[in-house]
Amino acid sequence: MTTHRRGTIVVSAPAVAAVAVLLSACASPVAADLEGPAAGAPTSVTHVHAIDVDTSRELVTIATHEGLMSIDISANGDPGSPPTVLGDYRGDVMGFVRADDRFLVSGHPPAGDSGPANVGVLDVDLGARAWDPLALSGDVDFHAMSRYASGSSSLIVGLDSVSGAAMTSDDDGVSWMSGVAIPARDVAVVPGGQVLVVTTESGPQLSSDRGVTWSPVEGAPILVLVEVGTTMTGEQAVFGVDVEGTLHRSADGRDWEPLTALPFFPDALGVGEFGALVIANTGRAMLSTDEGSTWSQIADMSVPLAPPAP
């Protein structure tokens, strides 16, 4: 099995720096990375890993180094407030997807936890009150995850930092199949559920056999983040952020259309329904309801966190 790579592409120094920073955020953990905050509300968010945009509930859930946080995006939201801490789990939540009425998460346990350093896949209720082992405990650390669902079928993909491979599950995280190793930063399931797209330093690559082989997308922008959702008119699409901070959109992972420059370079991108996008870093979280044409701040990520909800 061969992993195909694109040829060398010259990009600007700021672009290279952006890729280096975001790739380093997904490096294999060292001891210091496992020394997260103890149980109880952390004082601040130190890293943002992933975002879920639940348009129907008007809630954004953010996976961070300090557990899960939520932001109310209804009309009553306060853009100067911090996100609200969900539950009392203070592990490092890296891989993160919503599967209907629950979350699937991966990463590392809280400080002092006696379990394995890599939690595998945990099954979490939407309120983050119960965190139950689901699969791959001790074996896998997904640094990025994506899910596509249509009717009764779904496909989840995760990028495992241990093996370097993209792994897939068609039973919502219970069993997994592994592909070959590929040096990727982010991953998404292309609409239709038959193709995977990953971001690499030399550009996006596609797989139509669940990560067994990969092929480069010639002429595509050098993307850092990718996420699947729907456009303002309801069509499914993959959205991506390139190394210059420009937002792109694609229906098939191969042909990419630039949309707009983002107001800041995000650590994570979340996509909901009908063009709802959220970007965030440790400074702020912002929402767009028109595929990136306009943005409004929905939370200040730099201020002390609100305590967990009772």
- Domains in the chain and their CATH numbers? 46-300 (2.130.10.10)
Partners of 181 in beta bridges: 165
Angle in degrees, CA 131, 137, 143, rounded to 5: 85
DSSP reduced 3-state for 154: strand
Return the pLDDT at 75: 75
Please name which of 123, 145, 135, 137 lies closest in space to residue 176, comparing C-alpha atoms: 135
- Judged by average pLDDT, the poorest of 7-11, 40-44, 101-105 is 7-11
Taking residues 179-186, what's their average pLDDT? 98
Query: Which run of H or of E encompasses 48?
Result: strand 48-54
Residue with more model confidence, 30 or 233: 233
Classify the C-alpha dihedral 36-23-47-115 as positive or negative: negative
Q: Is 114 exposed, middle or buried (0-12, 13-18, 19+ CB in 10 A)?
A: exposed
Burial class of 155 by CB neighbour count within 10 A (0 to 12, 13 to 18, 19+) = buried
Query: Poorest-confidence range of 9-13, 89-93, 103-107, 112-116?
Result: 9-13
> Whole-prediction pTM value?
0.87
pLDDT at 97: 98
Query: 145 pLDDT exceeds 80?
Result: yes
221, two tokens: 């922008």
Q: What is the pLDDT of residue 168?
A: 98
For a pLDDT cut of 70, what percent of the chain falls above it? 85
Q: Does residue 272 register a pLDDT over 90?
A: yes
Q: How far apart are CA 252 and CA 21, in angstroms?
A: 27
Q: What is the mean pLDDT of the chain?
A: 88
The larger pLDDT score, comparing residue 37 to residue 186, is at 186
Query: Over 80: is that where the pLDDT of 22 sits?
Result: no
Total Cβ atoms within 10 A of residue 276: 22
57-104 confidence digits (pLDDT tens)? 999 999 999 999 999 998 767 899 999 999 999 999 999 999 999 999
What's the pLDDT score for residue 64? 97
Q: Is the pLDDT of residue 308 over 80?
A: no
C-alpha distance across the termini of the chain, in Å: 51
Tell me: pLDDT of 30 over 70. no
Question: 3-state secondary structure string, 255-297?
Answer: CCEEEEECCCCCCEEEECCCCCEEEECCCEEEEECCCCCCCEE
Q: What pLDDT was estimated at residue 309?
A: 61
For the cut 50, the answer to whether the pLDDT of residue 12 exceeds it is: no
What is the rounded distance in angstroms from the CA atom of residue 148 to the CA atom of residue 145? 11
Residue 191 reports pLDDT greater than 70:
yes
Residues in the chain: 310
